[in-house]
Structure 1
């Protein structure tokens, strides 16, 4: 056994809510977004440990391996499975059974905890019984989910640096992918809503603008329109051609263009007036859309 592995086993173990020993982790991030909790847990080099959680009412756990060569032996309710996880391999398991496993090799996982509220809402949409919404899988490859997870990693490390609506939108996209890819019933008519009535679009847009993306959420708008969060997200995108966050960014940039062209406000004042967190955020978004900085754009139009 290597010195690194020996030191891990000798160390004092502090266990987290997923049964992991936190003393050996090099990354331990968490981000809560409504009914979904995201975590990243990683350890440097080769990692050997055990994980155990008692049965509890917490919904489902989805794990995505971000590294090759993770071996896990164990399972729920005393059942034993021996699996090798490479980058992009996932598992889905219940929290309502005792779980124990030994882990060996490289350890870097993105974890998605789906609350009972999320699952019950999905069960209501799919008209299926308890526990019949998502397939329980072990070691299945899902590179799309891995890429979505990696897009959210910077927000896990520094959530204060990201627009809350962007984080919620990405969380909604991840939830929608899980429902689409792993639903046991293959979808239902109520899940195929593809358009919003014009009055519903206007109400959603008014709510987005009134909250400036900080005080209003996709969940708030969906509730006001009597839709599920995932149903609203898909219907808004299908009706407008853009996601709610993209639509709001476009409105902010259009307002910024008017202010840059017709006022002498500083770039900081324009950024804050238009709902950006700071000038740096404004400059990045404006440059991506316009192909130049706000200052250069103002000089050209004037």
Structure 2
């Protein structure tokens, strides 16, 4: 089991949770795995948190609940107390054994970010590596980007069956790049835009995505077919199609659903599964968001008659 795959269980032990919290895993950076986990305990058993195994990795934490007068520990010593406000972002270096006293309800998102993931962002020749992240104990950051990504992934954590892997990869790649730039001194790429994919590449990618409407393919798998980095592939795909891969895939699901809804004998639940949605509820939410009306309404209007089977 990889470090990222085990992160939820380690975090559960760290926070003395009864059960391992849910996690989403991505390996979108040259095989380097990252994870995001949501933790919550409204009635914790008071005491000092556990310890993570020391490793060259970082944890980015988005606090979803106020935690006043938090007693913070580092390298086995109590170093300070600080108020932790909801909505703030904190960074922790796992080499320093960050810990804190658990004595009140907590609710947070934790992103596991190994150093190798940051290094993977700087693969171009002569591009400097990401420096030390600004992991200042007790110092929170008002980070709107982390809040936005966190809110999106929080929904994915609560509905994992409805979340395609391309979306997880996309959001975690965005988080990694943001953290590297905002807290590690990485400068945004200034190289000339290399444009989109070649027509034959676009054709092949679209065929691959259409063959997997359920969204099990990862960005790493697709980019590797063209020997491209994840970031370059994602950028080039968006230039060529106008959408990032996960949004393009959602549009294809809707397109497939529309074709299937011309068949009167298929129920909406059957259409949902056939078009790659997790269930009818998922299908209805996405279709309504993209098209502007519910699937049932669209179908009745398209057929020009009352829907015979729901």
What TM-score range do you get, normalising by the shorter chain?
A: 0.7 to 0.9
Using the TM superposition, name which of 185-194 and 227-236 deviates more.
185-194
Q: Is the 8 A contact 1:168 1:218 kept in 2?
A: yes
1:190-232 residue CA offsets vs partner (Å, 9 max, x unmatched): 6966643433333322221122243311121122232332333
Q: Is the 8 A contact 1:74 1:82 kept in 2?
A: no
Identify if the C-alpha distance between structure 1 residues 255 and 160 changes in structure 2 by more than 3 Å, giving closer, same or farther.
closer
Residue 92 of structure 2 is aligned to residue 98 of structure 1: no
| Residue 128 (structure 2) aligns with | 128
Please, which of 23, 45, 52 is the counterpart of residue 30 of structure 1? 23
Helix, strand or coil at the partner of 2:277: coil
Residue 157 of structure 2 is aligned to residue 149 of structure 1: no
Q: Distance in 2 between matches of 1:133 and 1:198?
A: 40
Q: Distance in 2 between matches of 1:68 and 1:183?
A: 26
Runs of 4+ aligned structure 1 residues displaced above 6 Å come to: none
| Residue 281 (structure 1) aligns with | 282
1:94-133 residue CA offsets vs partner (Å, 9 max, x unmatched): 223333433555522110001344233124358334x626
C-alpha RMSD of the superposition: 3.3
Identify if the C-alpha distance between structure 1 residues 265 and 230 changes in structure 2 by more than 3 Å, giving closer, same or farther.
same
Q: Where do 5+ consecutive residues of structure 1 fail to align? A: 1-14
| Residue 202 (structure 1) aligns with | 203
Q: Distance in 2 between matches of 1:121 and 1:191?
A: 20
Q: Distance in 2 between matches of 1:47 and 1:191?
A: 55
Q: Distance in 1 between matches of 2:251 and 2:162?
A: 20
Helix, strand or coil at the partner of 1:33: strand
Displacement of 1:79 after TM fit? 8.2
Q: Is the 8 A contact 1:39 1:110 kept in 2?
A: yes
Q: Is the 8 A contact 2:44 2:102 kept in 1?
A: no
Using the TM superposition, name which of 183-192 and 285-294 deviates more.
183-192
| Residue 3 (structure 1) aligns with | none
Q: Is the 8 A contact 1:72 1:104 kept in 2?
A: no
Q: Distance in 1 between matches of 2:203 and 2:135?
A: 39
Q: Distance in 2 between matches of 1:141 and 1:238?
A: 31
Q: Distance in 1 between matches of 2:279 and 2:105?
A: 38
Residue 33 of structure 2 is aligned to residue 39 of structure 1: no
| Residue 9 (structure 1) aligns with | none
Q: Where do 5+ consecutive residues of structure 2 fail to align? A: 1-7, 28-32, 304-310
Q: Distance in 2 between matches of 1:16 and 1:275?
A: 30
Q: Distance in 1 between matches of 2:230 and 2:175?
A: 12
Helix, strand or coil at the partner of 1:242: coil
Helix, strand or coil at the partner of 1:160: helix
Identify if the C-alpha distance between structure 1 residues 293 and 27 changes in structure 2 by more than 3 Å, giving closer, same or farther.
same
Using the TM superposition, name which of 62-71 and 116-125 deviates more.
116-125
Displacement of 1:252 after TM fit? 1.9
Q: Distance in 1 between matches of 2:169 and 2:79?
A: 36
Q: Is the 8 A contact 2:62 2:110 kept in 1?
A: yes
Q: Distance in 1 between matches of 2:145 and 2:82?
A: 21
Q: Is the 8 A contact 1:175 1:230 kept in 2?
A: no
Q: Is the 8 A contact 2:92 2:98 kept in 1?
A: no
Q: Distance in 2 between matches of 1:228 and 1:255?
A: 30
Structure 1 or 2: more helix by fraction: 1
Helix, strand or coil at the partner of 1:202: helix
TM-score for both structures, normalised by structure 2: 0.77
| Residue 308 (structure 2) aligns with | none
Q: Is the 8 A contact 1:191 1:231 kept in 2?
A: no
Helix, strand or coil at the partner of 2:211: helix
Q: Is the 8 A contact 1:27 1:40 kept in 2?
A: no
Q: Distance in 1 between matches of 2:238 and 2:212?
A: 19
